[in-house]
Amino acid sequence: MEIKDYIYKWKSDFDFKTFINSLGSMLVSGGFGLYNGFLGIRHASPWHSSIFIYYLLLTVIRFILINSERKAGKGEKAVDSGHVRLHLFSSVLLLVQTVSLILPIRMMTVFDKPVKIGLIPSIAMAAYTTYKISMASVNFRRKNASENRSVKILRSINFMDALLSVITLQNTLIMVNNEGSPQSMLPLTAATSGLIWIGMMTVAVHLLIRCIRKP
């Protein structure tokens, strides 16, 4: 296929677009995870260590799904037992990943996360997060249009990752704009972070149940 054919397929084929975008996200999350792992070891930082675990699991799940689909063949529906087991295993890992977020979310809630960013970068971060959650929400709703279980899981992962970005953005904006007394915002951060995490757990549990009931 020529480059223009790949571009056309990327625009017109929802499943193909999902796998290509997820491949790029996998590489980025893998690199970001390694960077945080290095910082976690070097500075004995609980924050960076917990984020390393999150991005490690995120990268592993994406790799499993993309690699299994590559082996199964483009556009082929996953019906063999090996593919089904991989979907179930990925759903279990996704649930473990969501549970592992308890520590970093707690640290953000009580403002223990290190924040070294100015107002202008935080505004840019807010714009990117808005775009990220908007696109993830649209694709999350569209995931049921595909019969491919890998696509459903990958789109759900993207949506959950976008939700985590909302918590991160909230923490960053509060820390930047309330340098003297961020603790006054603790009730707000506790409520919103808790609700978002519950939403992420709901998605993860729902996916696991679907993989068990309808392999």
Closest alpha carbon to 111 in 161, 42, 181, 54: 181
Taking 50 as the threshold, does the pLDDT of residue 78 lie above it?
no
Closest alpha carbon to 104 in 57, 153, 151, 152: 57
pLDDT band of residue 73 (cuts 50, 70, 90) is: low
pLDDT tens column, 4-13: 787 788 888 8
Return the pLDDT at 2. 67
% of the chain with per-residue pLDDT over 70: 89
Taking 60 as the threshold, does the pLDDT of residue 77 lie above it?
no
pLDDT tens column, 100-130: 999 999 998 888 887 776 667 777 777 778 8
What token pair was written down for 116?
């070294």
Return the pLDDT at 95. 95
Minimum mean pLDDT among 3-12, 45-54, 60-69, 160-169: which range?
A: 3-12
pLDDT tens column, 154-185: 999 999 999 999 998 888 888 777 765 677 78
Contacts for 52-60 with beta carbons within 8 Å, 24 or more apart? Answer: 53/100, 54/97, 54/100, 54/101, 54/104, 54/164, 55/29, 55/30, 57/93, 57/94, 57/96, 57/97, 57/100, 58/29, 58/33, 58/97, 58/157, 58/161, 59/26, 59/29, 59/30, 59/33, 60/93
pLDDT band of residue 50 (cuts 50, 70, 90) is: very high
